[in-house]
């Protein structure tokens, strides 16, 4: 049996895809696994904000085409980079155990504090909205490119700091670059942050992913994505969501903004099997003005 796994070409994407490949081989060494790489439109267009060129779908378009054409059997994604609306012919079939979900601050090499004259590099509306509370008056400017490209720009002196996902830096072996971890109470993560998602063609039996799949991650991600979807969020909206499970109870925290763009937060608990309904209910409460300014 042969399985072809599709990936973006960045170093982080390849490391993450290799995690899936290794899990398949560990489950059944007889399976022949091949890697297929694609440079996506989102990787090619780096001079404009993501929300101006089509959103997160630009990071999956070419990989979706590889699945639909039969060139690939699976594709691997950072869950936080997936668009909220997926092609029903290409379901998500497995989810990794969650890596550290937090956002982090990265300073230039040798720096010990923010330079007030330089912006924090950050393209995420969710992060920008929360940075305004954490560092009032500090300028923030968009930055595009993969993690390594962003770090090069930081160390060249273009920014006073970057805000990145802890998970990506850890998977790249760059944990030492982290200057500060933001707790979820300080900066609520993006939906799916830290979770890898495997996508496949409808009808494919993913039995060989049993050693990779995490039910906890699946339940949390479904709740988080349901919240963002119900709130009308996407790459251009400042929306965050973070769920945890303990036993049969799921706790979901969500963030939207009020009419002035200020973050508003809410929390809900319920049975883990009802995560999507919980996400929708939390979104309704925030739309109805029931949020608060802190978690």
Residue 211 contacts residue 23 (beta carbons within 8 Å): yes
How far apart CA 210 and CA 121 sit, in angstroms, is 38
Tell me the HSE value of 218 on the side-chain side, using a 13 A CA sphere. 13
Query: 43 catalytic, yes or no?
Result: no
Contact 228, 56 (CB under 8 A): no
| Tokens standing for residue 236 | 């251009």
H and E: helices and strands count for the chain: 9, 13
Q: Which residues pair with 82 in a beta bridge?
A: none
End-to-end CA distance of the chain: 49
Among the listed residues 64, 81, 100, 103, the single catalytic one is: 81
If we measure between CA atoms, which residue out of 288, 220, 287 comes closest to residue 253? 220
* DSSP structure string for 124-141: -HHHHHHHHHHSTT--EE
Distance, in Å, from the CA atom of 219 to the CA atom of 225, rounded to the nearest integer, reads 10
Six token digits for residue 46: 């780096």
Round to whole Å and give the CA distance between 120 and 106: 10
Please identify every residue annotated as catalytic: 81
């Amino acid at each position: 049996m042969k399985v072809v796994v599709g990936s973006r070409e960045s170093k982080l994407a390849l490391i993450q895809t290799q995690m899936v490949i290794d899990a398949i081989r560990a489950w059944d060494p007889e399976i022949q696994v091949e890697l297929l790489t694609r440079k996506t439109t989102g990787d090619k267009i780096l001079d404009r904000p993501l929300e101006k060129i089509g959103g997160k779908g630009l990071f999956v378009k070419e990989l979706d085409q590889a699945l639909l054409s039969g060139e690939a059997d699976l594709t691997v994604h950072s869950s936080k980079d997936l668009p909220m609306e997926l092609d029903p012919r290409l379901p998500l079939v497995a989810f990794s155990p969650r890596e550290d979900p937090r956002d982090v601050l990265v300073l230039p090499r040798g720096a010990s504090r923010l330079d007030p004259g330089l912006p924090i590099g950050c393209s995420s509306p969710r992060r920008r909205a929360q940075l305004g509370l954490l560092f009032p008056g500090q300028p923030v400017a968009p930055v595009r490119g993969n993690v390594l490209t962003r770090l090069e720009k930081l160390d060249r002196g273009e920014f006073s700091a970057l805000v990145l996902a802890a998970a990506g830096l850890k998977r790249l072996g760059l944990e030492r670059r982290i200057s500060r971890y933001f707790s979820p109470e300080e900066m609520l993560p993006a939906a799916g942050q830290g979770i890898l998602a495997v996508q496949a063609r409808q009808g494919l039996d993913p039995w060989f992913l049993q050693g990779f799949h995490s039910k906890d991650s699946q339940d949390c991600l479904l709740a988080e994505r349901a919240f963002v979807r119900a709130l009308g969020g996407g790459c251009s909206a400042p929306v965050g969501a973070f769920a945890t499970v303990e036993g049969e109870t799921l706790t979901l925290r969500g963030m939207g903004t009020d009419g002035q763009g200020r973050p508003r937060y809410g929390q809900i608990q319920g049975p883990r099997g009802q995560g999507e309904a919980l996400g929708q209910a939390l979104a309704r409460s925030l739309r109805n003005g029931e949020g608060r300014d802190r978690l």
